[in-house]
Structure 1
Amino acid sequence: MKERDFKIQSSRYVKYRLEAFFLITTKNENVILEKEHHAIITEILEDIVKRNDCDIVNLKIEDTSIGFILNFLTRTTLSKIINSFKAVSSRKLRANFSCFKDGSVWNRKYLVLSIGDIDTEHINKFKEDCK
């Protein structure tokens, strides 16, 4: 995982720093995400995020949920990342662990919250850069 980096990113016409918090829960709360599941989950998430030019800032896997902060680009489609992760990880977990054989691994619903950092320093610097 990447160290938390607070610098502003740039493309040709825009300066930005976009981060979001995601929470994904298991469909069956009786099935616990054990240590042996964590490695597969982490590997898949890191691969999907990397292919989408994003960075995982923080990842926490609990008994029945996964929470992470993602630093992403303006062109990133967040639902594509989540749906891809859920499909690939569900398929791999069901193939390797009998506790997941009974249907879907993940709840269809998930939570996404934007993380804001409106700062007058950033605003003033941007205004100066635009002159």
Structure 2
Amino acid sequence: MTRVAASPANPAAAAAHFRHLLSVETDPADLRADMEDGAGGFLVLDVRAPEHYAAGHIPGSISLSAKDINAESTRDLPRGDVLVTYCWGPGCNGADKAALKLAELGFTVKKLIGGFQTWKWDRHPIATGTDQDAR
């Protein structure tokens, strides 16, 4: 059994690791702060099934199911923005799969840590319905 104190990374390796994580992940608090500050340059993608999006989603996000991501379905997405993907929650890897597909298509991406469930747990606002911000 490996213990916490066994073979820790040296500080430089740890710094590189966490710098990398921060380059590909964001959390609900940082995302909401950017939304409230009016920071531009990012688009939030709900990659769950459309019916889950309709039942509740992050305000301003657009629905694009992970299974439907391809060159055609992403043709109108902004190439200069960071695409932030999220799925249901910590036990779902749909956001990872979507981010991988998007990165392979040449998009800059980040994953929302904890997905929609963590967004809700943190008591951030939730929108319902199918209306999407036309970008």
Q: Bigger relative contact order, structure 1 or 2, given CA contacts below 8 A and separation 6+?
A: 1
TM-score of the superposed pair, with normalisation by structure 1: 0.26
Q: Which has the higher strand share?
A: 1
Bigger-Rg structure (1/2):
1
